[in-house]
Structure 1
Amino acid sequence: MSDALLVYDDDCGFCTWWAEFFEQRSDVPIVGFSDLEPSLRNALPDDYDRCAHLVTDGMGYSCGAALEEAFARLGGGRPVRPSIDFLRRFDAYIAAREWTYSGIARNRMLWGKLLSKPTGSSGRANADRTVDAGSR
């Protein structure tokens, strides 16, 4: 069982491409919005469908922070974690991260013409791929 779970819009081919990218290159399993179990859905913000989320036992990350944390976990986290931890100290970096995420998300149909995967319910959500969302 992973200590994190990436929640994404599985109705978006571009989002699915990225979610599978992270799943294949890290120990972070993925679950699409269409496969959310009630306990996980309750741990997410009310407007959860506006962006991706990375949920852990003790923390939740949304939008740009979720993908940043997913990147930090690639390759076991060793290569990029120190750089990300350093950058998170700066408000300008955080603003730029969220601005970039928002801009890409607003244009995901266009980006999906370059990078895309089939969408829809994948049956990925199951008991051994969830984290304890009750601590959030």
Structure 2
Amino acid sequence: MERSLIIYDGDCGFCTTAAGFIERRMDVPADIRAWQFTDLAALGTTPERAEYELLWVDTRGRVYGGAQAVAKILLAAGLPWSPLGAILRVPPFRWLAHGVYRLIAGNRHRLPGGTPMCVLPADRRGG
């Protein structure tokens, strides 16, 4: 791949809002795409994983998920974001970031921009 790829849940209002923030406010050298419109198998991942967490696929094809995907995005965005990304990569901050990410991901339907659709598994969503 020529550019890294950020993959998010396009059915989730909170995730879509977060992806829009990245696109508008951060200068990340990556394409941003909803997993529903992405050939995940070709990237070495699954819909189950993409439903569960934000993904960062680097130019070498390595897939990072959750808090480590967020760290990769922050690092790639450069200043002022990159120092936070560097911090999120080292223990004990890495462990803390994972816990915070899981808390947010598990409650995304309750957060601003979130909808009841965010909590449903993909096979139970309309559309």
TM-score bracket, normalised by the shorter chain, equals 0.7 to 0.9
2:58 to 56, 59, 64: 56
Structure 1 pair 104–66 and aligned structure 2 pair: CA distance change class (3 A): same
CA distance in 1, matches of 2:18, 2:2: 18
The change in CA–CA distance for 1:97 and 1:31 in structure 2 (over 3 A counts) is same
The number of residue pairs the alignment matches comes to 112
Give, in angstroms, the shift of residue 92 of structure 1: 1.4
Q: How does 1:15-34 map to 2 (within 5 A)?
A: 15-24=15-24, 25-26=26-27, 27-34=29-36
Name the SS of the counterpart of 1:31 in structure 2: strand
Unaligned runs of 5+ in 2: 118-127
Judged with a 3 Å threshold, the aligned counterparts in structure 2 of structure 1 residues 38 and 68 are, in CA distance, closer, same or farther, namely: closer
The SS at the match of 1:57 is coil
State the 4+ residue runs in structure 1 displaced beyond 3 angstroms. Answer: none
So what's the TM-score if we normalise by structure 1? 0.68
Letter in 1 for 2:72: E
Does the 8 Å contact 1:8/1:19 carry over to 2? Answer: yes
TM-score, structure 2 as length reference: 0.73
Work out whether 1:70 is the aligned partner of 2:73. yes
Pairwise CA RMSD: 2.6
Do residues 47 (structure 1) and 48 (structure 2) align? yes
Identity of aligned residues (%): 24
- CA gap of 1:38–1:92, structure 2 versus 1, over 3 A, is closer
Q: Which whole-Å deviations, capped at 9, do the CAs of 1:100-127 have from their partners, x for residues lacking one?
A: 000001110110xx2359x9xxxxxxxx
